[in-house]
Amino acid sequence: MQLRQLRRADLPAYGALCRYAFGMPADYTETYQAWVGHFLRHAWGAFEGSTLASAMWAYPYQMRVGDRWVPMAGVAAVASRPEHRNRGHVRALMTRAHEAMRAEGRPLAALMPFKHSYYAAMGYGTAFFHHEHQFAPGQLAPPPSSGVDLRPVDPRRELRALTRLHEAHASRRLGGVRRDALYWKTRFFGWVAPNLLPSAYLATRRGRPTGYLLTLLSQAPTGKADLRVVQAVWEDEPTLDAIVGHLRAHRDQVEKVRWNLPCDVDLFPRFDDPKIEVSLRPRAMLKLVDLKAAIEARTYAPSLRGEAVLEVEDDPTSPWNEGRWRIAFDRGRARVSKARVAGVKIDVQTLAVVYAGRRTMSSVAGVPHQILDAAFPSGTPYLEESF
């Protein structure tokens, strides 16, 4: 087996591998190949002779952690041909990719797993969840007059407004991700399945943008359609009222609306009939690719002072994370160094969940730990990007 970065000449083979593994349509496969071509320095392959047996790539993002944007990699399209599986190719690829992420200063990585236990064995923890809402538009209550105008727009012409609104939205919780123009143009507006109709709406009050709504309409040959909310962003309640009113206006056309939201967003007061389907779904997994850099990258409460020691157990794809680590907190920052004394034992998957605020250190360690609970407070992390 040979591990190396993918080259432009490898893209057709990677496209064919993705098409086999994920059922990509032919035209989307071509679009996807072109997209990966922008990021060949972040794309890796395992070769058996001249055959591409396994491959993956990662989009270079910045993730919101506390009040800072921390470099992160969104791992995508990890695929192997069936005849080459169970040979350690993916683990070797992930290890090589993590080495590269660490070298270029990306201490965090996230992915959408096909199987959680598979990536848990590589050091990823399930840190991000969402609530999947399904309801008929007619179940929504008529919203109050909001003074917000929601109008259809060409999103390519409104990228500046969409980017500003999204960044403000993403900065409100851990897991928010910055988007550049290339991401918008490729991931959101580059390809849409033939059976889906995309729409974009910009919300404004007295001419100032206050939110947006992106949807996909799936029109059935017979019967009513389904409407999927790709993303909704609002800076205040009146803007959310306008978005809800727009969805309700589909009640004679659409049978079901599907809308994924953070677990702390409560839509129930906006329904006349709140007997809707809400399911808790795992969204993404997080990994501390470089434990030391990840902990030092974020800021902490200025009043937090003290030390803690973590004993990190086996990390098969980032072995530099293993061992005892002393963390000293002072003046809003943390300094991490190797330690000799014993401390709180934790695996790297669980540490990622604590880092994200999904669980507290005391709850996973089984004993109270005031300093680490204060350093990594619980919250509602949310990552809505798709890799």
User: Which positions ≥6 away from 160 have C-beta within 8 Å?
Assistant: none
Helix (H) or strand (E) holding 98: helix 89-103
The predicted pLDDT at position 386 comes to 85
The predicted pLDDT at position 3 comes to 93
* Burial category of 49 from C-beta neighbours within 10 Å (exposed 0-12, middle 13-18, buried 19 and up): exposed
CB neighbourhood size of 174 (10 A): 24
For residue 271, give both structure tokens.
Answer: 């329904």
The predicted pLDDT at position 189 comes to 84
E-state strands within the chain? 2-5, 43-48, 51-65, 68-80, 108-111, 125-135, 149-152, 196-205, 208-218, 225-234, 254-261, 277-288, 306-312, 323-330, 333-338, 344-346
For residue 269, give both structure tokens.
Answer: 């007061």
For residue 79, give both structure tokens.
Answer: 């695929």
pTM of the model: 0.94
Residues of the chain whose pLDDT is less than 70? 222
The predicted pLDDT at position 254 comes to 95
Q: Locate tokens 């192997």: which residue? A: 80
The predicted pLDDT at position 83 comes to 85
The predicted pLDDT at position 178 comes to 94
Answer yes or no: are the C-beta atoms of 197 and 378 closer than 8 Å: no
* Residue 178: closest CA among 74, 254, 107, 281: 74
